[in-house]
Structures are given as C-alpha cells and as structure tokens.
Structure 1
Amino acid sequence: MEAPESRKRTREDDGALSIRSKRHQSNNGDWQSLGYCDYTVGWVCALPIEMAAAEAILDSIHAPLPRKEGDPNTYTFGRVGEHNVVIACLPASQYGTNNAATVASNMSRSYSSITIRLMVGIGGGVPDSGIDIRLGDVVVGNEVIQYDLGKVLPDGQFQRTGRTTTPPHTIMTAVSKLQADYESAPSKIPSILLDMLDRNEQMTSYARPSLPDRLFQRPHRETAKPRIHYGKIASGNQVVKDGETRAKMAEELGIICFEMEAAGLHDFSCLVVRGICDYSDSHKNKAWQRYSAAVAAAYAKELLSVIPTQQRRDTETTYPTTNPTLLQSRVEAVLNSLTFEQIDSRHATIKTQHSKTCQWLLGHSKYVEWLEPIHFASHHGFLWINGKPGAGKSTLMKFSYTYAKNKWKATADANVISFFFNARGVQLEKSTEGMYRSLLFQVIQKFPDVLHDSDHIFQARHNQATWDIETLQALFTHAATKLGQRQIICFIDALDECDISEVENMVEYFENLGDQAAESQTKMYICFSSRHYPHIDIRNGLKLTLEDQPGHGEDLEKYVRSKLRAGNSKASQEVSAEILERASGVFLWVVLVVDILNREFRDGRIFAVKQRLKELPDGLSNLFKDILCRDNHNMDDLLLCIQWILYAARPLTCEEYYFALVSGLDPSPENLVRYDRESTTPAAMELYLLSSSKGLAELVKSKARTVQFIHESVRDFLIKDNGIRQLWPNHAASFKSYSHDRLKQCCDTYCNIDISERVPQGEPLPNASSEQAKELRTRVSKEFPFLDYATRHVLHHANAAEDDISQLTFLKNFALKRWLHLYNLFQRYEVQRYTAKASLVYILAEHNLPSLVRSAVNNGFDAHPKGERYGYPLLAALRNGHEEVYKALQPHCNALDKIIDQNDYHKGFSIPKITTVLHYAAEHGNLLLLTHLLGFMTPASDAPDERRGRTPLSYAASSGSEACLRALLSCGSHIEAADKDGRTPLLYAANGKNEAIVRLLLDRGAQTEAADKDGRTPLSYAGNEAIVRLLLDWGTQIKAADKDGRTPLSYAAESGDKDVVRLLLDRGAQTEAADKDGRTPLLYAAWLGESEAIVRLLLNWGAQVETADKYGRTPLSYAVEGKGSEAIVRLLLNRGAQTEAADKDGRTLLSYAAESGDKDVVRLLLDRGAQIEAADKDGRTPLSYAASVKRNEAIVQLLQSRGAKSSSSMISS
C-alpha cells in the first residue's frame, strides 16, 4: 500500500486533474446538463490520479450541477454506457477512513438516486496470500474489514471491533456475471485502456510500466494482461509498510489487499476495486500507481457494462429536488426560463394619467368591493373593466396597478403583479404564454417558496426548452395553492390585443382557479380590462363599463379644461362642452380633437375654432380618416410610413425608419450615404416621423425606442375599418403583397449602399464572436442604421409578396455574393454564417421562406444543392420544422436516397451513429422528419435501437408527441414491443405524464399489466393523477407488486404527489403493503419523500406509525435523515412514534439524526426526551456519530451542551 508521502498532491498530480478540462473539449458533442436525480452511480476516489483515471474512461462528461448547501465536495459528472456517474475525490493530502466517510456521506445526501456505489483506486497486494497477485492486477473486494479499529484489553492484547462489510447484493451479482463472462471471453480491460490512451494523449504515464516486477520470484506469465482476483480487503488509517506485519495480518484475517479508505464507507455500501501498485511493504515507489489506477477504473467500467440501468420515474427532470428550504438554484433556473426581453415593455409605453385623473376608481363601490375579503365568495376575486377603443382603459389600469404596487410594496405577504398585452409587440407580448410567464415570474420572484413540491410539474416538461400553456397553468395553480394567508393582486390589461381563442381559454382557466380560490379561501384578486367582448364573459365577477362612469366623465372634463388653450370666454366654454358631449367617453378622441383645435388657437384663428370642431367627425375611425385625408400633402410619405409600421418584420428604430423611407422615396446616391448626425439630427428625424404619419405615429418611450402608431385603434381603422381601401383604392385588393414588395425594394436598395470603406467585400471577416467583429458590427450599424434590418429581412418581404407579385426576376437578379458578405457581417456566432458557395435555395429553406423556395425550384433552381450547416435545403427544412418549405421541396424528392444518404441525415441532425434517424425523429417529436422518413426512406418502423432495444414507437410514447405516435401506429408499429428492460410504450407514456398518449395507446389495445423486468407496471410509474385514474378505469391492478414487493402506492408515496396517493387510497390501495425489506408506503414517504401532506394523508388512512422493516427501522427512524426532515419528524412524533425506538444494530433515532446533520431534528428529538447517551451494539453514541462527520460541528456542540460525553468509541471511530 502506498506510503503517506505518496498521498500528497504534487505538481504531477495537479497535471492529472487537468484532464477533465481537456476531456470537456474532446466531448463537446456530449456536453449536456442533467439533474441531481439522474445520477445513479456514485464513484469515490482517494487520490487525484485515481480521479483522473476515472474521468478518462468516461464515455462523455456532463455539465456540472450547482453545489448543494452543506456539501463541500467537488464533483465530475459523466456517462459510462447507459449509466450516469458522479465522481468525487478526497480533499488534497487528506486520506483515511474518516475523510472517505465524509465525502461519501455528502455524495449520498446530494445525489439520493445513487443505487450503485464504487470505491475505485490503488492498493497494496499480499503476494504471500496463496494467490498469484502481481503489480498491475486488480482486486475486487467481496468483503472489507477495518483492521485497526478496536480496543486494548487488560492483558495488553488488541481486540478488533471493526465490522466486516460486504458489497450490495445487486453489485455482487454483476461481479458474478462478469466473472462468468471471463470464462468464455477475455477481459475488455486492455481495450478500455488503449481507448483511454488514444483519447487522452497526455496520459502516457498511465500506460503499463516497462519496469519488471522483481520483488518476488514467480513463474513467468505468458501475457502482461492484468488478472482479476476476488477476496477480502483490509482497510485502516495506518500505513502498512512492513512485510512481516502484512503477512501476519493477511494470514490471520484472510486478506489479499490493503488500502486506507473503504472501511469508512459502511454507510455508503459499495464495491471496492483496487489496482495493485505495491506489496504493502517497505518497497515503495510510484512507478505503478497511475497504471494501477487506470486498470482499476477500466475494471469498474467493464463491470458497469453488465449492470442494467434502472429507469426512475423522475429521470426526465433537469431540476434539482426541492427541500423545505428551497434551493436558490431551483428558483434561479425557473426565473431564467420564464423571463423574456420584453416582459414589461408595454407597461412602460402606456402614458401616465393626466394630473388628478383616475383617482375616482379607488373609491368606486365595485373597486372597493373587489378587494374586500367579505365579498370574495360572490365575485371570486374578479373585476372586469371594459370600454370602447381609446377610452383610456390602459391608462386607468396602469394607474391602479402603480397605486396598488406602492400601497403594498412594504407588505411581505402581498404581491402586486401585472401584464399588459401589446398587439404591436413580439409574440410573447400578445399571447397568453407571455402573460403566464410574466405573472409567474413576478409571483416566484417575491414568493420563491411556492415552487416547493413542484417536481411533478417540471418532470412533465421532459427537458423541453420552451414552455407550453398546460404546464404554465399547472405551475400557476400550484403556486396559488402554496400562498397560504398571503395575497396576490393581479392586473391584466388589453385582453382584446390577444388572440380571441387564447383569451377564451385563459378566462375559463381563471374561472376555475377562482372557484378553487373561493373554496380554499385563497386571496387572489384579478382585474381584467378589455374592449366590449360580445361573446366572452365570466361567471362570477364584478363588471365596470368605463365610459358610463361619472368619474371618467369628470376626468375628461379635467383634461379639456387643462389642455385646451382657449381661455375662459363663453365661446371657449361652449367648445369644451361640445367636445365632452361628442366624446362618448373616448379619451383618445378628446386628446386628438384638443390637439387639432389648439393649432387653430395658436394660429390666432379663434373665429374658426367652432367651425373646425363642427367639421371634425364623431368616433375614432372617422376622426382618423379626417386627419389623414384633410390634405394631399406628402401622401407618398404617408403611404410608405403606414406600410412600414403595418408590415415591418419588427418595429423599427427612428433611425431605421428614416433611412427605410429615404430608400423608398428618394434613393439617390447623395441620400444613401453614411449617416451624418450633424446634418440629420435625431430631433429632425422625430419631426419627420410626426409629419410623414400626420401625427398618428410616435416614438414609444420604452427600452427600445421604436416607431409605433399612437394607439391600436389606428391599425384597426386601416385594416378592420377599411381605411386603406378609402385612402388608396387602387392598392386595396392586394395591399399586403404590394406593401411587402415595396419594403423589399427599400431593403434591396439599401443593401447596395457602398460600405467598402469600412468592410472591403473581398477581404475575409474576423471571427463572428471576436471583439474585432463586434466592434465592426457596431461601427457599421451606427454609420448605416438600416443595413442590418435590410440585410436580414429583404428575403422575408420578398417571400410575403410572392403570393400576388412574382419574385422570380428578383431571385434571378439577386446579388447573392454581396448579400452573403453583409449577412455574415451581422452574425454574432460563426456557426450561423454561410460559406461563399452557399446556394440561394438553401438560404431560403433555412430561413423558412416557402413561397420563394417554390418559385425557385419550379423555375430551374437546383432543389438539392449540397453544403452548409445542415447539408441540404431539405435537411435544413426538416431540422428546423419548416413544414411549408418541405412541401415546396417535396415534389422534387424523386430518387431522394440517391442524393441524400443516411450519413447526411446523421450529420445534418447531429445524430449519434448508434441511433437511427427514425429513432431520433420519434424521440424528439419531430413529426415532419418522421413522416418524411416513413414516406420516402421506407425505414423499419419497428426496429429496436442498439442502446436500449427501444422502438421508435417507444420513443414517441415518451416524447409526448401524439402525432408521431399516430403516424407510427398507422404504419403497423407493434404496440407491445418491449425494450431490453422489458418496458413497453405504455409504460414510457405513463412515466411521461401525457394523458392523451396513454389514452391513445389504451384505445389501440396496449396491455395495462405489461410489467418490465423489475416487475413494475405502468401504474407504478404513473405520477400524474389523470393517468393513474385512466389506468385504474381500464382495470389495472392497484395492488400489483414488483419484484421487490413495492406497490404503486409505495412509489406514489415517495414521489410527492398527494393527489395520486389520495386516488390510490380511494381505490383500495393498502397502506400496510410492505416490500421484501418490510418497508411500507409510510416509511418511503417519511424517508425519500418530502411531502408532509402525504405522510399526514397515509396516517389518516390508518398507516401504522411504528411498523418496522427487517432492519428494525421505523418510519421515524428514516424520517430523521430524510428529505422532509423536521416537519415530518414532528408529525410522526405527534402521532405516537417513539423516540427511543432502536434498530437491530441498536441505533436510535438520535443516532441517525446526529449523523445526518439536521440540527433542528436533533434539537426536536432531545426536546422530546431522546436519550443522549444511548449506545448501539458497537458502543457508539449519538455524539460519536455526529463527530464522525466533519460538517456536524454545530450538532456536536448541541449534544455536548445537553450533556453528551465523549467516549472511546467516539475516538476510535
């Protein structure tokens, strides 16, 4: 065994640790992030060289996870075959059993899903054990004994008390399997080592040393391949450096290997694997250490290859399991996934109310009633403010939201949130997805604890990068149930600026949520505002029509009196009265009319004011028409202005708008030059915006100051009220296509601007992500403000125009080479750039421009040019889900397999070679690719994959794509096809929590009782109440136990879904159904679950609080070291659990609590009378166990303050 000095980290050792960063670079394709619960193999090393060897044999390295509170370990994450592995190393220069115990304990606590535990590294062999052990061989420990733990007897003899531990049964069966394999086939260790050295050129020191093994004369071996030995390993804190001592202990205890850590892992039941680097005597050198570490790691990898993976119900989630003190990493991850750039943009652009207006709402009887808890049962927390377009609803909502926000901002138990729909914004600003994400962001930001017990919601997402409405609603409902006595006041403005079908769904959802809130007395108040909806109403709620309110009329009067520059004459009073009489409660009409009349006053035409007022029409639409048609001045500017605001791919900045119009109105060389801010000032540009739009457009005051109409009703007038037909009747029939063609021309013209002084076209561009490229983009954008937009969207506008105006001539004459140079200039990432040989058809396909693709390929352009990121236009369309582009290319797919082969698909989609394209399509829910393959490539739709033996149907069932599932079923895919683990598509669907998928499979004849090789049925995997109910309704057996004797109730109790547990109990599940280890559902809920509610539910249904498993441990014994911790412990104690219950080893609850590290639980047990000096069979007290874990200093102090005394057992441990 290596000497202590060999345990010290050297510069050479530090070099070994650098392997990890290099492996990251060599495995970028596999670089992924999983969740805490995804790791099922725990691997502990003592030395950096051992960790380096472990990392080097990984098939891929995963992204690191945030460190859990209280865990000082530093981990490497990766994959070996189908196993996800987490690796930890002892601290530098610290070795021995106690340090190993600390590292392993922290690993177990942070990664509770670990079922396979390994201690892998180097050790000292015993050459005189009767076994031919040599340097570089491997010893697999079937027993481990701590040889230096004991006590000195009165006669001076040393009596060992260290217990012998054996590896878990499941691991030893795998050892037997591999041992049997060696009888007929050679070990794969040599090939694993060769692969490791090939992939890690810097690890030459891990190759087999050329030095001969001369310490012991033995017969020559025919091969240098390592041999595997099985036997007892001795472990201790002392270094064995004497040959005679080694031989004596080996003979006495039957030992074949010595090492220094494994005895500390009696609570981390594991297999110890040691590569022999010396003979545990005085002949110490490091020549064999690295090779021996690599040999041990290679054996461990080969062993894992024969251990089947165990599917867990929660392996899909990427979120860490929560605990009562919600992890900050969970909160940050959720907030980051919910937020978006324009999350509060609309609120900022709404004009603040005029001085002293809107105050009336706060005292309005319905507003007061809305916020009074006593009336909640009648209105369910809803107030709906409706009104005419332009009446001032958004301004009123902004006022009431701001007032409420200020009123309750210092109140810890109140949260005021809002969302203002914006029809002129990006998709998330005008959709209910954006609304839910924004509201949830605000709720979680102030009340992060509402995420507690939400694992089942995130599991259902299946690692999806985007949110769906169902999941957002589920999370919002969950958050509402976690409010307790806290309250939420919510303002949602401009429902009319969202799609009507989305609004209907949203109102129905909030109605149901309001019903639940009224029943549970949850304080959730929601105020909507919208135009008058003829078909949408809410069952319960207060309603307020804005234009009918006296207070609103008074606000209009205050505005006119303040803003109309007419003096106090009788004539001016008559003008004011007429304005208010004709306003019909529409604030925007008043604002526009007052502005028009003030111009007459400014010109001194007081005598013309009354006449001008009479000429102004009633109603917003008529007023807009009057404003736009009163004169024919600059009508070309007005037309192009309206076209840009209506049909721009995104809102333009003021500078972009100015040069967009210049490009279309006067594209002379002297105008299309570098932007000179001295000759064309920002103020001049804003003035041009005002004149070209005739006052109906503005520069909104938000983070991104963009050009918009002054109100959504302007757009309504132009589109819905046929304003365009009235203004430009010649273009009305195809105005949209005509407009896009005009905008395309503007873009194309500006793209021909000369920028060669800044960016010579023939010279290569700097790397897209470099600082040089960033500076170049910034400089070009400042000098040519419209160039970025023009380059990115010229083809977009051409595509939109193609429906009515042929773009073939444009495509044939398109300056592709120049466009490529400009496009590449504006890309921030190198992978998004095109090569100089990129084809136009490929670009059109990747940018999802189907009309242009169809025009091009139908008129002589090559439909399948090879090259670029995805290889072919067809693959670019399939990869990005561009269905219409695919349809345009589809007629040109004859003999496609002669053009595009399987390798092209694998390359274009970055598919691993061991995965077929069809399996990939099914797994990722890519219906477009799936149907293409089924239609053109005639793949075997039932072929199992190489990894797990899963069929495409199996992957479709777990991906959640009902359409993919239907497509495969229609091709005759076998519905009961099981994978290597015996899992059918129905089982994966039940685990995937998609009710529609499960129902479809059942309708097609899937067997509800089809169990996997562990004996688990779909019901035991189902964690969603709807799926559980569905399976039960189809007759599945509720009491069916798996091979370990666990029932569906047992798994549900662990998972944390109270509704599932309640349903199973209602349907007859037995609370006392114990598994083969005697563990009941209550025990699992107390131990591995984290829901106090489930424990309470089981107890209320008669679960026995003192039922012990075969180890003599009760639910309370496990609860003291479980996830739920203090709350569950307190509940069990209150229900009669005994504090002095000891297991078969004599360990008490306090003993386990002291070791696990929860100070609150230890204090609670002491307060309830737990005996502080109660010792187990080894004589160890709670203080001994607490002291054995380095991080438990606070618990040690607590126990000592309560009278605990140190003992010899504590010292020896």
Structure 2
Amino acid sequence: MAECLNVLRFHNTRYQKIVREHQGSLEWLWSHEKYQNWSFSDNSSILYIMGKPGSGKSTLVKYFRENLRDREPLTQSACFASFFYSFRDGEYQTSHYSMLRSILYDVLNQNESFFYHFQREFHMYQDMKDGRSEEHRTGWPYESLKQITLSLGDHPRTAERSYFIIDAIDQSDEDDRRRIIELFGELCSKKACIVKVFFGSRPIATLDRYINSPEVIWMQVMNKEDIRAFVDSFLGPNLGFSDDILSRATEYIIENAHGVFLWIRLIKEELLGYSTTGCSKGSIFRFLKRLLTELEGLYERMLGELEGGSCQDITDGIKMFRFVLFGRQPPTILELQHVLAIPDGPNDGVTEESFQDDLVICMDKRIFHCGRNFLEIKGRGDEASVQVMHQTVRDFLLRPDGSAAASRFKIQVNGNHTWICTICIRYLIPFAAYTTPKANSTDIGPGFWELEHFEKYVQYLEGRPLINYRLSFLPIHMQKTNGYCASEECSRLVSMLVGYMAPENPATYLIGDWICTVFARAKLHEANEDHFRDQLL
C-alpha cells in the first residue's frame, strides 16, 4: 500500500493560500436549510456552493473543511478528501488527473480498508510500467484513476461517511470537466455507502446542466452580514469614522458590493491609501462615493495608475505579469527578481556583471509598485510566491477586447511561451559562462575537486534560484511554441550556451546532458556527470 500511496501523492498548492474567514463570519452555514438537508440525510448527495467571482466561495470551502469535525460530532471517523483547483498556481493545479490523484491519496491514507478498490488497477499499472523502458514510462493512467474513484461508491456501508470537498471547478481544465462532474454524480447514485460531495464554483453552464442537486447555496445572498462585520472592522478602527458617517459609509459599501468580498478588499486598500495623505472624514467619504462600484471599473482605475509609471516601471510590470500568468507554477520572489534582471530585447546581451547590477533591491516593493493590487505575495521568506490576486485579474488582463488589451499593458496570449523560452536560455548563458566562482580560481578541473570545492560551488548554485525552473520546465514551454527550437533566435542562443560547455567548466557536468537532450545536440564532452552530481548532493 505504501508504494501505491507514493504514486498517488500530489501537492495541492492552493489550499494554504486561501484567505481565512473574518472572525465570526460564515457561522450561518451550519444552520442553513440547504446545508442541513444535505448533511443530515443518510443518502449520498451533492451540496453546491455557488457565487460570483470574489464572493468568498473558496474561503467558505476552506472554512467547512477545517471546522466540520468540530461542528458535526458524527464526522469524527469520516474520511475527508479535498482538492482546490487554481488557474493561478499553474497547469498541474487545474488538472483533473491531479485532482483524482490527490483525493484518492487522501482516501487511502486515512482508511486502508479502501485498498481493495485500488489493488487490481494498481497491479495493472505496475505491470504496464515494468514492461516499458524507463524513458517510455508514464504515470498511472487517467481512466484507471476515474474507475477507482467510481468504485469507492461500492464500499460496504458503515457508520463512516466519505466527504469529497472540491473547490473552484470553474478553474479546472475544460477538457473532460463534464465527465468529472458526471463521475461524482454517479458516485452519489450508488447505494452501498454514504458519500457527501461539497462543490464550490462560480456559475458555469457545465455545472448547472450536469449537477442534479436541489441543494444550492448562493454566497452573495448569504454573506451580507459577514460583509457588514468586515466593513466595520476597518472603517471605524482604521479611518476613525464617527457613528453617523460610519453608518452611511457602511450602508453605501454593502449596497454596492453586491456580495463581492474582493471588491470590498480593494475599496479598503483605496481608502487606506487615500487617508495617508491627510484628509477629513467627509473627504474620505466623498472619495469613497467616487470609486467605481464594479470590479471591472476598479481594475481599470488600477491599470490607469500603472500606465502613469515610467517606461522601466511598465517594462518590469509586463515582465512580471507575463511570467506569473504563463509560468508553469507561481514564481518565488527571488525567481521573479532574477527574471527582471534578464534583458528580453532581440539584441540584448547579458553578462554576469550586468546581471548582478540589474538585480532589484527590495523586490517586494517593486512588485507592488509595478503590479499594484493585481499581484500579491503569498507566504514568507525566500519561498514566498507571487501570483495574481484573483482569477478575475487574469480574465481582465487577458481579455482580447478589454481595457488592458488597449493599454500599454497589452499581453497577448500568443508568444508568451516563446518569450519565457528566450528568458530561460539567456539566464543559463551567464551561468555557463561565469559558473566557476572566483573562490574556485584553480587549475584543478571538476573531475578532481575536493570537498571544499563542491561546498563553494553549492553556495554559488544557491544564488541561482531560477536554474531549477529552467531545467524542469523549459522543455514544456518549448512544446507550447510553434517551432521555437528551430527558430533563428533559439539557434543563436543555444550556440552561445554550447560554446561555454568546456570540460573544465562545472556547468558541463550539470547541464551538458540536459542540453543535448532538449536541443538535440550531439554529446558535448566526456564527463562523469553522475559522480559530479552525487558529490554536490
């Protein structure tokens, strides 16, 4: 069973990034008629949390996942499996294949009695894998995972329930979305055990058509009092509004929020920013009434502020947006810092010295200055990642007939993977050209290094956070371009890169084979790459 779990293991990144509920909010869920009909029934069923973008659906789904055992004593021994789709966190996080792996791992990890549903398919997968050479091996077949998921409904009925908590279905891959929704419906139609499915999503036709569930909760109908509490938490304490103006401002915001928490969050930032200039309470209220009452309008206002920046501000902002929107995973702050230091003009060159000179100091401030509230930082320290604030930001920036498309921040969908490929290769060139640190100035080649040489080289590599991304995902970005590998620009850059792959260069030991594989080049030099990498590790 342990080997089966290892194959299924998948890191769902979205859950930890979801904003927690405001203190005291969402309590209404447990007494809601639709929830109680769904929860107290001994039949398998689906509860559907529907809401506008930014209305707090994901926060509610996370709140439910974290508090169900405390609020419902009968669930103490229940099995919980969850997945939170996210377009912002990269393609793996929108994949139905990833979702199935994740929930099946949760089920099996919590209750080994389910293993017999896995055994037959797992043994078939092992036989298939053993019968292929290593380079032709694939993961556990997608259809097999769907079959196992469906078979869970045949598990003998016990007092224990199985909960499947799936958020942001609207952000999942459109391919096969309908079949996945139908699969959960079929799972609930089985009578052997009790299955409870908790869906969160914005309204989409696929869901409305294929989820046959009378239990639907609309967020914007239920969150008015939660919004009131959130507004009171910053209008009074942060802005010092007196009772009369506090009441008028609160009612104005609630009336114009239309159930969208995200709009209020942006309004809060606008009001707090305006108040720092030194102004009266009345002028703050008048400023509030001048702010637009739709997300689109606020986004246009934010975009206008970005367009007023310098040419360098706009250049950096566009580079951030392109890498965040089209990268395979959210970049860390350090990775994005290195992206900005790589020039992307057709005739631009990069050296180690120019690269070091162009590294931005105080990168968190640069992200806010060039990305405003469109971008947000999640986490702390060196591993903190950067992503767009909400899925609606992605939609706004990439809409072909929208405001962004007519601005200086126009980001076309086509060509971004080619741009990332170019940045990736340019990043490797100074690494290859200047890869040996000055502390290692020695005539001893890497094949004869001692421990101290490896330790210094590891320190050098730790200062190159983008190398791992380049080696892992550059081939995938190349697959998404139309013949980039055969382009003149790619050929020129790869030739420069290969030119530095000498036997005495440690980069040859690290990425020589990778270059040959990715760019179909002949073997560069004889080098004991495996031994060299083992020593580094």
Q: What TM-score bracket applies, with the shorter chain setting the length?
A: 0.7 to 0.9
Q: Retained in 1: the 8 A contact 2:501–2:524?
A: no
Residues 492 and 789 (structure 1 numbering): CA distance in 2 closer, same or farther, change over 3 Å?
closer
Match of 1:332 in 2: 2
Q: 2:460 aligns with which of 762, 780, 791?
A: 780
Q: 2:250 aligns with which of 576, 579, 593?
A: 576
How far off its partner does 1:582 sit?
1.4
How far off its partner does 1:404 sit?
1.1
1:67-466, aligned counterparts within 5 Å?
331-340=1-10, 342-343=11-12, 345-374=13-42, 376=43, 380-407=44-71, 413-452=77-116, 454-461=118-125, 462-464=127-129, 466=139
Residues 778 and 369 (structure 1 numbering): CA distance in 2 closer, same or farther, change over 3 Å?
farther
2 CA distance for matches of 1:352 and 1:558? 15
1:512-911, aligned counterparts within 5 Å?
512-516=186-190, 519-520=191-192, 522-537=193-208, 538-549=211-222, 552-564=223-235, 565-569=238-242, 570-606=244-280, 607-631=282-306, 632-633=308-309, 634-664=313-343, 672-673=355-356, 680=361, 684-701=362-379, 704-720=383-399, 722-728=402-408, 732=412, 736=416, 739-740=419-420, 743=423, 747=427, 751=431, 754-756=434-436, 757=438, 764-765=445-446, 775=455, 778-789=458-469, 807-812=487-492, 814-817=495-498, 820=501, 834=512, 843-845=518-520, 867=523
1:1078-1093, aligned counterparts within 5 Å?
none
Match of 1:39 in 2: none
Residues 797 and 460 (structure 1 numbering): CA distance in 2 closer, same or farther, change over 3 Å?
closer
Q: Retained in 1: the 8 A contact 2:351–2:430?
A: no
Q: Retained in 2: the 8 A contact 1:450–1:478?
A: no
Q: Retained in 2: the 8 A contact 1:419–1:439?
A: yes
Residues 750 and 577 (structure 1 numbering): CA distance in 2 closer, same or farther, change over 3 Å?
farther
Q: Retained in 2: the 8 A contact 1:416–1:490?
A: yes
Match of 2:145 in 1: 472
How far off its partner does 1:498 sit?
0.7
Residues 359 and 674 (structure 1 numbering): CA distance in 2 closer, same or farther, change over 3 Å?
same
1 CA distance for matches of 2:377 and 2:288? 28
Residues 731 and 428 (structure 1 numbering): CA distance in 2 closer, same or farther, change over 3 Å?
closer
Whichever of the two has the greater Rg, that structure is 1
Equivalent pairs counted in the alignment come to 496
Q: Retained in 2: the 8 A contact 1:798–1:807?
A: no
Q: Retained in 2: the 8 A contact 1:765–1:825?
A: yes
Structure 1 unaligned residues grouped into runs of 5+: 1-330, 846-864, 870-1213
Residues 1050-1092 of structure 1: per-residue CA shift (max 9 Å, x gap): xxxxxxxxxxxxxxxxxxxxxxxxxxxxxxxxxxxxxxxxxxx
How far off its partner does 1:350 sit?
0.8
Give the TM-score, by structure 2 length: 0.80
Higher relative contact order (CA 8 A, sep 6+): 2
Q: Retained in 1: the 8 A contact 2:168–2:200?
A: yes
| Counterpart secondary structure, 2:205 | coil
1 CA distance for matches of 2:375 and 2:153? 41
Equivalent AA in structure 1 for residue 240 of structure 2: G
Give the TM-score, by structure 1 length: 0.37
1:950-969, aligned counterparts within 5 Å?
none
Equivalent AA in structure 2 for residue 641 of structure 1: M
2 CA distance for matches of 1:395 and 1:451? 32
Which shows bigger deviation, 410-419 or 535-544? 410-419
Match of 1:161 in 2: none
Equivalent AA in structure 1 for residue 163 of structure 2: I
The answer to which structure has the higher helix fraction is: 2
1 CA distance for matches of 2:117 and 2:100? 20
How far off its partner does 1:409 sit?
8.8
How far off its partner does 1:523 sit?
1.6
1 CA distance for matches of 2:279 and 2:516? 62
Residues 783 and 416 (structure 1 numbering): CA distance in 2 closer, same or farther, change over 3 Å?
closer
Residues 440 and 795 (structure 1 numbering): CA distance in 2 closer, same or farther, change over 3 Å?
closer
Pairwise CA RMSD: 3.8
Identity of aligned residues (%): 21
2 CA distance for matches of 1:669 and 1:834? 20
Equivalent AA in structure 1 for residue 201 of structure 2: S
Instruction: Establish whether residue 482 from structure 1 lines up as the match of residue 155 from structure 2.
Output: yes
Residues 761 and 626 (structure 1 numbering): CA distance in 2 closer, same or farther, change over 3 Å?
farther
How far off its partner does 1:719 sit?
1.4
Residues 432 and 806 (structure 1 numbering): CA distance in 2 closer, same or farther, change over 3 Å?
closer
2 CA distance for matches of 1:508 and 1:469? 16
Match of 2:185 in 1: 511
Residues 563 and 781 (structure 1 numbering): CA distance in 2 closer, same or farther, change over 3 Å?
farther
Residues 647 and 457 (structure 1 numbering): CA distance in 2 closer, same or farther, change over 3 Å?
closer
Which shows bigger deviation, 697-706 or 789-798? 789-798
2 CA distance for matches of 1:751 and 1:414? 52
2 CA distance for matches of 1:799 and 1:450? 39
1 CA distance for matches of 2:161 and 2:356? 58
